[in-house]
């Protein structure tokens, strides 16, 4: 095994080793030992990832090698191996950096929690699963990491398992992801059926010929589907579940039941970005299916708009940011759908920085408020928490795409990419992504003004003990504020000029990147362009509207809520989508279960098979007992009667 391979193995397994030590030996090494071993293991992975990033980007390293065969079935070989190119190196940096910040932050946030060692074991294991996903060179290891992040997210969302709400949220996340993963598995099965392999490179090389041949399959007996389209849509179903797109978005808000650092880890750089990464990684497949690309674009654009609207009516600070994540993931998917993969990955990176910053800033607020999360009991915190205030402001400006913060460069590039696209359905998608600019600014600064400005609404015991968070909490905030501010300017030109090299494939007729690169050759040109766009003025309008409604005239939101009647209830009930799922799927499941219980269990098994057998035995015994009278003439009569019957039968038959 050469040195490069050893480094890749260490990057992958280091978080796993830390997780196992903290989980198995947690009681022996104590709380300090648990956070030190896991934090150092992720730090090792992060710093080695920096070396890999340098080697890949600046020295042209490309690695695609199978380390060992996991299983062989006939001619089909299932290997475990790595593919490390530009997109992998990029994701390794993002995942490990955010994970390291979350580890450091959690030392202060989780102090005193009885599950301290278990928590650090989980988050380190989460990092291992995500690295498995992004480093894979085949669908087997991709699926392993895919299911790994799903499993650990279940454990993390339900971390405080004594809460019924946490258990419910964890189960909802697990089940929603299983729905998407069923499609994902069908897609992998389709790859195996038509290509005979699940390794990336052979599949990518074979896709053009299959698409050109127009190979189809029959569904429901008569409907003809393109094989490439069918496989891509099945794989995208997994991305819909993992990246919480409509209609499998329902689990992401409930993930707030876990500790705040978990929200930052899940929402910023790991689980929810897996679907976005997967579509970009599989660009050589999706490019040959315009139907799949249009589907990705429409679902992403609809998610960014409609889920953002729900953030406007939330009162829990973490749930506002959760719906923000849903919306921003929609932007990323919309970019993938118009073949602007590098721009979508650009937003993934900038979003990881400012979303982790927002979640950890919210956690700092929650610490100061003694774990109060309802924004109606906050207000005026800027005087008590100045560092958190500045960090939250930077995150809010980046999320609202206000120049020159990072979110502006990545998010507005997505809007321009959709506007430049000719993909079927791009007009509808354009409306959603542009309208989302106003919605994003409204829910973001509504949260910001309710928490830090206006009249103080906190309870007396909160006010007396209010203070800034400890340094171990603030340092990650400050470190995350740096990329949230400057990463957009740094990565703008690379995202438009082939940063990802051959790791992303785009057909010429779908490529909108050259037009964007020509129109905006520098970050400064794009900065000036902002003042001529509708999205910029919608974002500014959203900030002004929230300032008026929540600072100058704070009674306006209450009046609007009462005056809107059913519309406000419609939004509070989240479009009644979850209620519909509960009625259709939950109600149907309960009905079927009730029928099986009453008919199958009680009637057939209990009363029929078990009690029925006993009753039949007793009845037969009662009847037979009547025949045993003890009188000889009764027995003689029965014998004579039996003889007559037998003789009669004999004569009738002959």
DSSP 568-629: HHHHHTGGGHHHHHIIIIIHHHHHHHHHIIIIIIIIIIIIIIIHHHHHHHHHHHHHHHHH--
pTM, two decimal places: 0.88
Mind listing the pLDDT tens digit for each residue in 456-487? 877 766 666 678 888 888 898 999 999 999 99
Percent of the chain clearing pLDDT 70 (strictly above) = 98
Determine the Cα–Cα distance for residues 8 and 449; give it in Å rounded to an integer.
Answer: 45
Q: State yes or no: cis peptide before 215, omega within 30 of 0.
A: no
Query: What pLDDT digit, counting tens, does each position of 135-147 carry?
Result: 999 999 999 999 9
- How confident is the model over 151-177, as pLDDT tens digits? 998 999 988 888 888 898 888 888 888
Burial (CB count <10 Å: 0-12, 13-18, 19+), residue 43: middle
DSSP H stretches of helix in 312-384 = 317-337, 341-368
Q: Mean pLDDT for each 10-residue chunk of the chain (654 residues)?
A: 89 95 90 92 95 92 89 82 93 91 88 89 93 93 92 90 88 89 92 89 91 77 81 93 88 83 75 89 93 94 93 90 91 93 92 90 87 86 90 94 92 93 90 94 94 81 73 89 92 90 90 91 91 93 94 88 84 87 85 87 81 82 76 81 85 78
Q: At what angle do helices 86-109 and 116-135 cross, to 10 degrees?
A: 170
Segment (H or E) for 80: strand 76-84
Contact between residue 288 and residue 214 where contact means Cβ atoms under 8 Å apart: no
């Amino acid at each position: 095994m050469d040195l490069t391979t050893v480094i890749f193995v260490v990057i992958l397994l280091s978080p796993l080793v830390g997780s196992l030590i903290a989980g198995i030996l947690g009681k022996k090494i104590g709380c300090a030992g648990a956070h030190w071993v896991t934090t150092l293991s992720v730090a090792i992975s992060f710093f080695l990832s920096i070396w890999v990033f340098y080697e890949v980007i600046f020295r042209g390293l490309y690695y695609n090698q199978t380390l060992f065969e996991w299983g062989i079935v006939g001619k089909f070989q299932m290997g475990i191996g790595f593919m490390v190119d530009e997109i992998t190196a990029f994701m390794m940096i993002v995942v490990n950096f955010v994970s390291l910040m979350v580890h450091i932050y959690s030392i202060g946030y989780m102090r005193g929690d009885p599950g301290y060692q278990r928590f650090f074991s989980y988050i380190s294991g989460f990092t291992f699963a995500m690295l498995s996903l992004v480093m894979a060179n085949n669908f087997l290891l991709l699926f392993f990491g895919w299911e790994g992040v799903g499993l650990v997210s279940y454990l993390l969302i339900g971390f405080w398992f004594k809460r019924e709400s946490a258990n419910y949220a964890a189960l909802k996340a697990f089940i929603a992801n299983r729905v998407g993963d069923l499609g994902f598995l069908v897609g992998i099965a389709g790859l195996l059926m038509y290509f005979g392999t699940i390794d990336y490179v052979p599949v990518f090389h074979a896709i053009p010929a299959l698409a050109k041949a127009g190979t189809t399959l029959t569904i429901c007996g008569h409907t003809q589907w393109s094989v490439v389209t069918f496989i891509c849509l099945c794989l995208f179903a997994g991305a819909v579940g993992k990246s919480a797109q409509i209609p499998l978005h329902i689990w992401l808000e409930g993930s707030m039941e876990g500790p705040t650092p978990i929200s930052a880890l899940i929402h910023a750089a790991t689980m929810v970005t897996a679907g976005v990464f997967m579509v970009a990684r599989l660009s050589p497949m999706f490019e040959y299916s315009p139907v799949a690309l249009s589907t990705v674009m429409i679902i992403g654009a609809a998610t960014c708009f409609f889920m953002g609207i729900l953030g406007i009516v939330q009162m829990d600070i973490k749930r506002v940011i959760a719906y923000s994540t849903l919306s921003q993931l929609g932007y990323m998917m919309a970019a993938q759908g118009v073949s602007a993969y590098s721009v979508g990955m650009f937003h993934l990176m900038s979003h990881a920085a400012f979303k982790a910053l927002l979640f950890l800033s919210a956690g700092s607020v929650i610490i100061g408020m003694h774990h109060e999360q309802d924004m109606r009991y906050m207000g005026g915190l800027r005087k008590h928490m100045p560092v958190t205030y500045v960090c939250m402001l930077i995150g809010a400006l980046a999320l609202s795409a206000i120049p020159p913060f990072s979110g502006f460069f990545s998010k507005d590039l997505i809007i321009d990419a959709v506007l430049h696209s000719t993909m079927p359905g791009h007009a509808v998608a354009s409306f959603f992504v542009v309208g989302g600019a106003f919605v994003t600014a409204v829910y973001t600064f509504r949260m910001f003004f309710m928490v830090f400005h206006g009249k103080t609404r906190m309870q007396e015991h909160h006010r007396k003990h209010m203070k800034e968070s400890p340094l171990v909490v603030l340092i990650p905030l400050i470190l995350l504020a740096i990329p949230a501010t400057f990463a957009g300017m740094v990565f703008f030109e690379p995202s438009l000029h082939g940063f990802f090299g051959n790791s992303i494939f785009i057909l010429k007729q779908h490529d909108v990147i050259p037009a964007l690169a020509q129109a905006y050759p520098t970050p400064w040109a794009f900065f000036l362009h902002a003042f001529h766009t509708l999205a910029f003025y919608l974002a500014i309008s959203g900030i002004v509207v929230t300032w008026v409604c929540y600072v100058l005239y704070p009674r306006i939101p209450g009046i609007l809520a009462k005056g809107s009647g059913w519309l406000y209830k419609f939004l509070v009930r989240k479009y009644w989508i979850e209620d519909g799922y509960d009625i259709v799927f939950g109600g149907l499941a309960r009905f079927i279960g009730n029928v099986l219980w009453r008919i199958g269990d009680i009637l057939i098994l209990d009363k029929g098979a078990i009690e029925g057998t006993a009753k039949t035995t007793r009845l037969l015994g009662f009847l037979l007992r009547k025949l045993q009278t003890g009188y000889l003439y009764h027995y003689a009569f029965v014998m004579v009667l039996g003889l007559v019957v037998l003789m009669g039968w004999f004569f009738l038959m002959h």
